[in-house]
A and B are shown apart, each in its own frame.
Chain A
């Protein structure tokens, strides 16, 4: 199946700094990518839908000025957590839908963010 990668897999940063997480579709093009956040022992919560060439769509309660999303190409979407705080520590996962399928999505391996 198709592969989605994320970088970095784990990052530790100090409170107040910004962190960028990359999501890449390695062998297919993705005009849309989804960003999820998962707290320990909780489910994946959709944060935003990233659209190539246009603005991202954010879910209710997600601060768009804090979680900046850029979908610069058909294979790359980035999530930047600005002015990170300890409560932003979480597991961030991206996914990209299969353009030929009405349901299939390929998930990245996730990025663990720890803010100290």
Chain B
């Protein structure tokens, strides 16, 4: 079993739609939960970060963590074509090493 499972998609939505991206993880020791966005042939960039359980909102993006079910989510409201990218969830314990999900390729159609 992989430590982090993520539906690879691809996911295609019309502009303005609400996008829901999800990951599950297996190790309850993980404390830090991140979402990264990666454009083709580029390094990932941090979008959202959450420590422990809870919600965090930043503009059109909302990250949710439910440690009881080991489930993390990213919601994108009013999606834009510029949001088209691969979205990677990542988890970390105390060693700062990141374990990534496989990434979900998102396309927002104009």
Q: Give A contacts to B, CB under 8 Å.
A: 4, 6, 32, 34, 41-46, 49, 91, 93, 95, 97, 102-105, 107-110, 112
Contacts and interface: CB of A to CB of B under 8 A. Distances in A.
B32 to A, nearest CB: 4
B93 to A, nearest CB: 10
Contacts of B66: none
- Interface SS majority for chain B: strand
B34 A109 contact: no
A49 B97 CA distance: 8
A64 to B, nearest CB: 17
A43 B102 contact: yes
B35 to A, nearest CB: 12
Contacts of B88: 43-44
B76 to A, nearest CB: 20
